[in-house]
C-alpha cells in the first residue's frame, strides 16, 4: 500500500485530534499504528477508512485522495474494517453474517456465496461454528468471523482497530494467530497495543502521540529507537 499525507488536520470541538504535516509511505504490506491511548491512533485509522472525515489537508491511499472524496463507494469496495468489537448481527448465524453483503450488495448467488463463505471460515478455523449465532461464540471466534466478513468481498486493504483489546489473553492469541496466517491475503493496517505481536506481524510502524506522527520506520527500529519518549513507551509496554 502507499499512503501520502500533507497538512492533515482533524479537530473535535476545536480540540486537535490529528495534525500531521507530511508522510510518504511506499510499498508497505503490513503497518502497525502504535502509541499511547488517546494519542490519535484510532482517529487516524478512521480517517483512512473514511469513517471520519478530515477538516483539511490531503490524505491519499494508493493514489486515491480521501479528503473531500464525494463518492467513496468504489474506495470502500477496496477496503475492509474490523473494530474492537465484532459488530456482527446478533440475530444472524455466522454464515449469514458473512454472506449477507455478498448476496444483497454484490448480488452474488446464494449457493456461490455460501461456498465462498465456507472456504473462508475454514481458513480461519471456525467452519464448524457456521450455524451458530453470536451469543454462542467465544469473543475470539466472533472476531475471526468479523475478519472473514471484512475480507470476503475481495478487500485489498484490511484496517483493524485494536481487534484484540476486548478479549482475554487466550482469545486474543487466537485472533493474532489468525491475522498472522492471513497476512498474505491482503495489505493490512492495525492499531494495537500488542507490541510483541506487532513486531512479528508488521513490517512498518507509525508512532502516534498527541495527534502527530512522532516517528515511523521498519518495525525493528521501534524497539531500538533513540527517542527517549519512544524508548520509555516500548519498555513499559513490553516490560523490559
pLDDT tens for 62-73 read 999 999 888 888
Here the CATH number for the domain that contains residue 76 is 3.40.50.300
Spatial CB neighbours of 180, under 8 Å, sequence gap ≥ 6 = 200, 201
Which residue in 199, 165, 208 sits closest to 35, CA to CA? Answer: 208
Q: What contacts 24+ positions apart, CB below 8 Å, involve 192-196?
A: 192/32, 192/33, 192/34, 192/160, 192/162, 192/163, 192/164, 193/34, 193/37, 193/162, 193/165, 193/237, 194/164, 195/34, 195/222, 195/223, 195/234, 195/237, 195/238, 196/238
pLDDT tens for 110-143 read 999 999 999 999 999 999 999 999 999 999 999 9
Q: What is the mean pLDDT of residues 21-25?
A: 97
- In a domain, residue 9? The reply is no
CA Rg, the chain, in Å? 18
pLDDT tens for 183-209 read 989 999 999 999 999 999 999 999 999
Residue 157 backbone dihedrals phi, psi, to 5 degrees: -145, 120
pLDDT of res. 162:
93
Evaluate if residue 240 carries a pLDDT over 80.
Answer: no
pLDDT tens for 86-118 read 889 999 999 999 999 899 988 999 999 999 999
pLDDT tens for 27-56 read 999 999 999 999 999 999 999 999 999 999
- In a domain, residue 63? The reply is no
- In a domain, residue 66? The reply is no
Between 104 and 240, the higher pLDDT residue = 104
Query: What 8-state DSSP symbol labels residue 128?
Result: G
pLDDT of res. 239:
61
Range of the domain at 189: 28-52+71-238
- In a domain, residue 77? The reply is yes
Domain count, the chain: 1
pLDDT of res. 77:
86
Cell numbers for 200, please give them: 512479528
Residue 204 backbone dihedrals phi, psi, to 5 degrees: -150, 155
Evaluate if residue 166 carries a pLDDT over 90.
Answer: no
- In a domain, residue 164? The reply is yes
Compute the distance between CA of residue 113 and CA of residue 148 in angstroms, rounded to an integer: 13
Amino acid at each position: 500500500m502507499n499512503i501520502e499525507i500533507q497538512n492533515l488536520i482533524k479537530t473535535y470541538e476545536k480540540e486537535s485530534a490529528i495534525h500531521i504535516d507530511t508522510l510518504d509511505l511506499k510499498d508497505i504490506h503490513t503497518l502497525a499504528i502504535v502509541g499511547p491511548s488517546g494519542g490519535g491512533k484510532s482517529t487516524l485509522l478512521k480517517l483512512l477508512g473514511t469513517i471520519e472525515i478530515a477538516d483539511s489537508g490531503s490524505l491519499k491511499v494508493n493514489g486515491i485522495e480521501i479528503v473531500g472524496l464525494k463518492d467513496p463507494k468504489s474506495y470502500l469496495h477496496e477496503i475492509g474494517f474490523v473494530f474492537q468489537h465484532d459488530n456482527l448481527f446478533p440475530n444472524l448465524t455466522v454464515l449469514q453474517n458473512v454472506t449477507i453483503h455478498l448476496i444483497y450488495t454484490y448480488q452474488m448467488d446464494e449457493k456461490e456465496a455460501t461456498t465462498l463463505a465456507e472456504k473462508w471460515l475454514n481458513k480461519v478455523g471456525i467452519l464448524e461454528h457456521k450455524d451458530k449465532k453470536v451469543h454462542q461464540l467465544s469473543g475470539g471466534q466472533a472476531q475471526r468471523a468479523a475478519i472473514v466478513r471484512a475480507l470476503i468481498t475481495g478487500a485489498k486493504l484490511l484496517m483493524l482497530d485494536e481487534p484484540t483489546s476486548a478479549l482475554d489473553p487466550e482469545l486474543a492469541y487466537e485472533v493474532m494467530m489468525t491475522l498472522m496466517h492471513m497476512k498474505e491475503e491482503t495489505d493490512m493496517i492495525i492499531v494495537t497495543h500488542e507490541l510483541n505481536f506487532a513486531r512479528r506481524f508488521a513490517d512498518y510502524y507509525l508512532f502516534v502521540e498527541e495527534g502527530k506522527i512522532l516517528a515511523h520506520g521498519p518495525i525493528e527500529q521501534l524497539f531500538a529507537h533513540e527517542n527517549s519518549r519512544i524508548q520509555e513507551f516500548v519498555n513499559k509496554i513490553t516490560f523490559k
